[in-house]
């Protein structure tokens, strides 16, 4: 299919009303030029596979004057011919640079998406813009965007309804995936010629979205499997200075854990193609302030004690993990010393206090030459839930974030918790079942029974849950 046959949708409107923002959100592309001053000067095309194209255009800057010349289209037999003549006449006219450029896709027969900012007043030049678009006779819908208080919404809506078959709300900074699809659906109903393509494109985008959820689920599950079994083992340097080395190992173990976690978070952010979202820098030991092992994290995230018990993740798991460590380590450790980590008490008492990592050196093997110290794995019941919640927080932040947003966002423990709580996901009925399934997964991970088939099952459970909380 050649480029000429592709249905095109042109995004038009006054300067600064958010055309590029709408485009950035639609295309999930945070590199689109957006600014508080006139920014877009040339058309920028975005192609959705080989299905259709949308075009970001420069804003109108001389609409009222242009309308004077275009008005004759009202009675002309072929309205677009008037527009074509206008563009030819003013090709090198510096007073109509933007108009000529933005009319180009219109002349090629595109459908029109008129973006207005209802927090700005409706002025005469907007009336002119609306009229120009009506004169084209092209299929068109209007989007109500808002960059601030929607004070002029009523006025705008009334005027737009007179001139556009469809007027829909689309907040470029808040629109999520369903809003985007709804917009394309609306376009499909208006632009009858491109309808089939748009429907296919919707299916393609949906599949793409599912892929992203699947990727995220896989990244999360792999990270969980990783951190739940992570250990730090080092040769005992000096039996007389065990305490010092113990502290060092503990430190290195924590660093390793947060490093793995941060890498997973980055991967999730990358999956959703956000470059203005920053997750903790693993180079700095920020986990002390903000990471996995601070009271703040543990007090707001993870499962509550009774939830842990309900999910079957309490008590037994803790004891099991401990026994694994104490005996499993001794039998498999090939002369290694046993590293044990003891969580903060039982499921109910200690589910919300961070684990105290301790590196233990059993008496009987202290004298062994070439002995090793081991820190980890973390046996605390709530540990996987904390890790999961933090990852879910990252996911919620990026999967709902519109690509039009220009602010830099740093995801710290508080932000993650707030984001997660805002979804009220734990009130969802499905959450209980998810908890049960994942509790089983975590047990399998800890016991080294986590194989490919179980991984697929866990990925499926988590992916479905991600779909629930992503919109």
Ligand X SMILES: Nc1nc2c(ncn2[C@@H]2O[C@H](COP(=O)(O)OP(=O)(O)OP(=O)(O)O)[C@@H](O)[C@H]2O)c(=O)[nH]1
13 closest CA partner among 148, 150, 156? 156
In sequence order, the β-bridge partners of residue 169 are 144
**Least Cβ distance, residue 27 to Mg ion (angstroms):** 13
Bridge-based pairing of strands 166-169 and 372-375 is unpaired
391 closest CA partner among 454, 443, 438, 321? 438
Residue 40 binds to Mg ion (criterion: CB under 5 A): yes
Residue 171 binds to ligand X (criterion: CB under 6 A): yes
Residue written as token pair 């999360």: 220
3-state secondary structure of 18: coil
- # chain residues binding ligand X, by CB under 6 A: 24
- Dihedral of the alpha carbons of 335, 341, 346, 349, in degrees to the nearest 10: 170
Element (H, E) at 11: strand 8-13
Residue from 8, 34, 201, 277 binding ligand X (CB under 6 A): 34
Of other proteins, Mg ion, ligand X, none, which one does residue 325 interact with (CB within 5 to 8 Å by kind)?
Answer: none
Of ligand X, Mg ion, other proteins, none, which one does residue 27 interact with (CB within 5 to 8 Å by kind)?
Answer: other proteins
Of ligand X, other proteins, Mg ion, none, which one does residue 95 interact with (CB within 5 to 8 Å by kind)?
Answer: other proteins
What is the C-alpha separation between 102 and 213, in angstroms, rounded? 36
3-state secondary structure of 121: coil
What is the C-alpha separation between 370 and 35, in angstroms, rounded? 63
Six token digits for residue 255: 């660093």
- Dihedral of the alpha carbons of 100, 105, 106, 112, in degrees to the nearest 10: -120
Residue from 6, 9, 12, 172 binding ligand X (CB under 6 A): 172
Our CB check for ligand X shows the closer of 21 and 136 to be: 21
Instruction: Catalog residues that contact other proteins under the rule CB under 8 A.
Output: 14-16, 26-29, 31-33, 35-39, 41-42, 44-49, 59-65, 68, 94-98, 123-125, 204-205, 208, 211, 214-215, 218-219, 267, 271, 328, 332, 447-449, 451-452
Residue from 20, 120, 382, 470 binding Mg ion (CB under 5 A): 20
Please tell me what DSSP assigns to residue 292. Answer: T
339 closest CA partner among 315, 371, 368? 371
Our CB check for Mg ion shows the closer of 55 and 373 to be: 55
- Give me the 374-413 binding string for ligand X, x by CB under 6 A, dash otherwise: ------------------------------x-x-------
Of ligand X, Mg ion, other proteins, none, which one does residue 62 interact with (CB within 5 to 8 Å by kind)?
Answer: other proteins
Our CB check for other proteins shows the closer of 20 and 258 to be: 20
Q: Which spans of this chain sit near Mg ion (rule: CB under 5 A)?
A: 19-20, 39-40
Q: Which spans of this chain sit near ligand X (rule: CB under 6 A)?
A: 13, 15-21, 34-36, 38-40, 58-59, 145-147, 171-173, 404, 406
């Amino acid at each position: 299919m050649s480029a000429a046959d592709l249905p095109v949708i042109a995004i038009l409107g006054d300067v600064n009303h958010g055309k590029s923002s709408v485009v950035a959100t639609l295309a999930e592309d945070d590199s689109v030029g957006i600014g508080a001053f006139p920014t877009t000067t040339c058309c920028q095309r975005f192609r959705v596979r080989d299905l259709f194209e949308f075009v970001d255009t420069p804003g109108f800057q001389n609409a009222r004057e242009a309308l004077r010349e275009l008005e004759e289209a009202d009675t002309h037999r072929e309205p677009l011919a008037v527009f074509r003549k206008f563009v030819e006449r003013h090709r090198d006219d510096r007073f109509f640079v933007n108009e000529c450029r933005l009319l180009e896709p219109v002349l090629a027969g595109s459908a029109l998406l008129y973006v207005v900012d209802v927090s700005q007043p409706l002025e005469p030049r907007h009336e002119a813009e609306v009229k120009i678009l009506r004169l084209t006779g092209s299929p068109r819908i209007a989007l109500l965007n808002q960059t601030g208080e929607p004070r002029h919404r009523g006025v705008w809506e009334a005027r737009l309804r007179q001139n556009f078959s469809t007027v829909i709300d689309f907040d470029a900074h808040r629109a999520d995936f369903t809003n985007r699809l709804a917009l394309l659906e609306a376009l499909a109903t208006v632009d009858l010629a491109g309808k089939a393509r748009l429907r296919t494109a919707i299916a393609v985008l949906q599949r793409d979205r599912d892929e992203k959820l699947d990727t995220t689920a896989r990244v999360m599950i792999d990270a969980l499997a990783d951190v739940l079994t992570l250990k730090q083992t080092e040769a005992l340097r000096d039996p007389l200075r065990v305490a010092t080395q113990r502290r060092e190992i503990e430190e290195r173990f924590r660093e390793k854990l947060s490093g793995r976690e941060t890498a997973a978070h980055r991967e999730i952010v990358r999956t959703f193609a956000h470059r203005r979202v920053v997750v903790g820098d693993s180079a700095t030991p920020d986990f002390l302030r903000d990471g996995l092992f601070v009271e703040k994290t543990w007090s707001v995230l993870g499962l509550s004690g009774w939830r842990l018990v309900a999910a079957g993740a309490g008590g037994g798991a803790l004891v099991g993990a401990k026994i694994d460590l104490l005996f499993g380590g001794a039998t498999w450790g090939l002369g290694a010393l046993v590293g044990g980590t003891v969580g903060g008490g039982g499921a109910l008492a200690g589910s919300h206090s961070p684990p105290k990592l301790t590196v233990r050196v059993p008496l009987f093997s202290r004298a062994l030459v070439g002995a090793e110290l081991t820190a980890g794995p973390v046996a605390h019941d709530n540990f996987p839930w904390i890790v999961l919640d933090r990852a879910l927080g990252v996911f919620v932040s990026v999967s709902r974030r519109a690509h039009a947003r220009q602010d830099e966002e740093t995801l710290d423990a508080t932000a993650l918790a707030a984001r997660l709580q805002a979804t009220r996901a734990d009130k969802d009925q499905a959450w209980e079942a998810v908890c049960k399934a994942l509790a089983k997964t975590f047990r399998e991970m800890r016991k080294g029974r986590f194989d490919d088939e179980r991984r697929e099952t866990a990925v499926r459970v988590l992916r479905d849950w991600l779909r629930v909380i992503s919109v």
